[in-house]
Structures are given as C-alpha cells and as structure tokens.
Structure 1
C-alpha cells in the first residue's frame, strides 16, 4: 500500500500508531505518536486507517459580466418646416378705463365702480395706480386676457379729488404666437370730477349693459 506524509496509520504487529511525518530510506517511515514522540517504523508494519486530507479546491463561480448600459438616445429637435402665415394688420392696442355708478342707489349718491377694458388682441400685464405729486401708489396689478374687462376698484364720490389723477402701465404680448412688438406703455390720466355728477356723461357702450363713462388710455 502506498504511504504518504500525513496518513494516519496503525501498527500491524504492535499496539499503537500515529501520523506519518517523514520517510527514511525505502523501508522506514517516521510516525508521530499520541505521546508526541516520533518513532521510526518499517513500512510493511504500517496500515493506513485515514489517508492524508488533501485540501479541496474551491471553485469560485465566475461573475457574469455586468450588462452594458445603453445611453438613452437624445431626442432630436423638431424642425419647424411650416409656419402659419403672419398677419400683423389690424393689431391695435386699445385700452380704456370704464366707470359705472353702483346699482340700486340714486345717481348722485351711488359709489363708482372702475373697470379696465382690454379691447385688443394682446394679453396685458398691467399696473393701475393713483398719482399724487408725480408719485405713484399701486391700487391694483395683474394680467388681463385679450378682448376682456376686469374689475379694479370701487370708490365714493367724495374721494373724486384723489381719484382725479390715476396712472396705468401695460405690457402687451401674445403667448405662443407671432405678434407686432409693443414697447411697455405708461400714461397719466387726469379725470374731470364734474363728469361723474352728470348723467349724460354716462352713455350706452358695447362693453356693459349699463351706461358707463369711458376714458381712452391707449389707442394705437
């Protein structure tokens, strides 16, 4: 039987055994016994009871290659091949202030409602203010869509001297459309308080069902 270093053996004709630690010539092996001593023994007197434990080679699984990430394709810009015809004719900036007496009250006692009228194809950003000694104080600001009107304020007639001088600033534009460029506009408007006490100054108009006093601010 073939013997190897590391084999555990027992003696054939004697009691004992151990682990082979070395060879001496062709016929002798060195056995490490349980008491810690190494004893030379003839090969033929050794019987293997447990072969040398050989280390098991571990197979490391091969990692699968990481998937290659594809860069997302960038969207190509859409080329505008056809544009709608541009017609700037008739694009006028028409902006007015309208004053109406409150309903259900005597004309001379009724408070006055003020409206902004945008009679143009532009959307407007506006600032409405009272003007005193060339200083502006904003009363209302915001935006108004084309061909619409919006409420600004209500005031009593005894404050007409304060409301006799107002200012209006507008920026006209068209979202998502071609249009004739308009510079920002600003204008002081001086009102005649006497007109607010004269019924004939409030006339029929295309903007309200009631008679109103209309004041032109921009018409260009």
Structure 2
C-alpha cells in the first residue's frame, strides 16, 4: 500500500494509530502518534483509515494528531517542506572512500547489514555507490512476481558518494533480488564522453546467508555484499563522428563486465568444466582432515556455481571423482536450492561415474 504525508493510519499489530509525517523509504514511513512522538513503522504493518470502503470506515478513528499548516494557513509551509526534503535527501547521500583502479571506475550495488557482528541477521541498507568522478543520473527498476517492473528510486548521485535506496528486513530481501539500474554520467567538461549504462542484476537468496560474502571493501567502513554493476569507461570521438553522424557501433563506449571466476574453467561458449578433486584445488593437502578437504571443495563449488549463474553460463560440469560419494551427495543437496537448475550424470563415456552436469534452464 502506498502512503503519503498526511495519511491517517492504524497499526495492524498493536492498538492505536496516527498520521504519516514523512516517507523514510519505500518500505518505511514515520508516523506521528497522539503523545507527540514520531515512530518509524514498516508500511506492511499499517492500514490507511481514511478510505471510503468498508474496511476504511471500520478502522476510522480521530487520533487528534496535528499536521504542520499548509497552503494559505502558512505562507512559509512550502519553504519548510522544501527544506525538510533537502535535509532528508542530504541524509541518505553519504561520502565514500576513494577506490583504486577498476574499483574507482565501477558503479556498485551494496547490501550493508546494520549489525556488523551478526551479518546474516537483522536490517540491511541497500545502497548505490558511485566512486567515479562523474555526476550520475540513475534509475532503479525491480522485477515484480508478475514479471512487471516497478520503479524503486531515481536521483542524481554526486561523484565519490553513495545513496541509501532502501532499508530492508531479511523477509523483504526478495524484492531486491532482480532488477535493472540505468545510469547516465555527466561532467561539466568532458574530452572523452561516457555512454549510458544499463546494468541488470540477479542475486540468489543463498548469497545473503553466508558471512564470507560480506567483505571489507575500499569504499565503506562496514562489511557489505557488493555487486559490480558497470565499469565506467570512455573513448575519444573523432571530429568526423561529430559532424551530424551517429558514431559507429565500434566507436561506442562499452561497459565490459569484470572477468568471472568461472571463465578460467570455460571449455566452450557458456559452458565450463570444474575439477573439484582436492589435488586440483590445493598444492599441499597432506595435513588436511577429511572435513577440511570437503569444506574447501564445497566452498569452491559454491563460488564457481554463483559465478556461472551471474555470467549466464548454460552448462557446467563438476568433476567430483569416484570415492565414497560424500562430495557428490553434498553438492547435489546444495543444488536443490536452485529451482532453475537441472542436474544429471555427465557423459559416462568421458567421465564415468565421476561427474555431474548442471544445466541452467533460464539463462538471460
């Protein structure tokens, strides 16, 4: 349900209600209650009571909460609202540290846990990071369950800064697993123009359940799960191209993706073969226990699988070898979390009983 300042609301999970005073994020608003306090409240815990339908009339009640005067009642009201909006906008935009090399030339989506000791629980901020030297006009679209796209946010992000797009509970993370970020880069003076970028992202829920995925980084004081959206590159445009002609395809600035881990195992276009034998992963494993060996193998399997999905690979062969079946059974169990993947024995002629074939049935 959409709310706006001035809406009369009632709490669903407790008695009482109040009036919406400001929008904190798409999922949270501030509600003024009768005793004068303002309470940040999730929108899914509120119901609007000024509706004319039966439900609205049932919950309707006068909470005697006053709102700031508007219109002709106060000539300064619009100025106050404008100042408040600017203050709120300033609060959600923050400075970030300077990265180096490709890091500083990329745009990032960051998921930052509020509790840095317990990274896989509690609230989380979704932020967009712009470490480049360009002002960035952006728009964020999210895919809905009905396969429609909804606009989540849009704004202008200054150079070397970040912006908080939303604050989510873990139950709300599903709304941010798939989306598109559209970006336009601007400088007052540019010798090398940068073309717009259109970056799609798709994340697996399992990524948010591993503490190792929240890393220390060049931009923030906090650990965060980072998604590289675009490498901001530039290229000279010749005088001939500026004389009323559209630049040729070859002259257009591209936004190449960083090299994926799975690419080192590529055997054909969008196909890979990953050897999970411990001898292929570790030079010296003589002092490792069976448990330690299995952990190294399954961790590498998980990283390669996630990398393959992000790089839109269609088929991955995982060579597990012929042993007591522990590694095979473990990775097959892990694969059950991925509905879009089908699993079968790999070619017996080539691998015997020592490999499985994973097929992505929904590559982009």
Q: Under a length normalisation based on structure 1, what TM-score does the superposition of the two structures give? A: 0.53
1:210 match: secondary structure: coil
Instruction: Indicate yes or no: 2:137 matched with 1:130.
Output: no
Q: CA deviation at 1:168?
A: 0.3
Q: Would you say the 8 A contact 1:204–1:210 is kept in 2?
A: yes
How far apart are the structure 2 equivalents of 1:179 and 1:145? 19
Count of paired positions: 130
The equivalent residue for 2:196 is: 184
Q: Which runs of 5+ in 2 are unaligned?
A: 1-100, 232-254, 256-364
Q: What secondary structure is seen at the aligned counterpart in 2 of 1:194?
A: helix
Mapped partners of 1:168, 1:125: distance in 2: 10
Give the secondary structure class of the aligned counterpart of 2:133: coil
Matched with 2:218 is: 206
Aligned in 2, Cα 1:183/1:189: closer, same or farther, shift over 3 Å?
A: same
Larger RCO: Structure 1 or Structure 2 (Cα < 8 Å, ≥ 6 residues apart)?
1
SS at match of 2:165: strand
Q: 2:208 aligned with 1:196, yes or no? A: yes
Cα deviation 1:85-121 (Å, max 9, x = unaligned): xxxxx99851110111113784333121111111212
User: Is 1:160 equivalent to 2:173 in the alignment?
Assistant: yes
More helix by share: 2
Q: Which has the larger radius of gyration?
A: 1
Give yes or no for the alignment of 1:169 onto 2:182: yes
Mapped to 2, the partners of 1:164 and 1:173 lie a distance apart of 28
Contiguous gaps of at least 5 residues in structure 1? 1-89
Aligned partners of 2:106 and 2:211: how far apart in 1? Answer: 25
3-state DSSP of counterpart to 1:158: helix
Q: Per-residue CA shift, 1:25-51, capped at 9, x if unaligned?
A: xxxxxxxxxxxxxxxxxxxxxxxxxxx
Give, in angstroms, the shift of residue 146 of structure 1.
1.3
* TM-score normalized by the length of structure 2: 0.33
Instruction: Find out whether 1:95 has 2:118 as its counterpart.
Output: no
- Alignment root-mean-square deviation, CA: 2.3
Of 162, 183, 201, the match for 1:149? 162
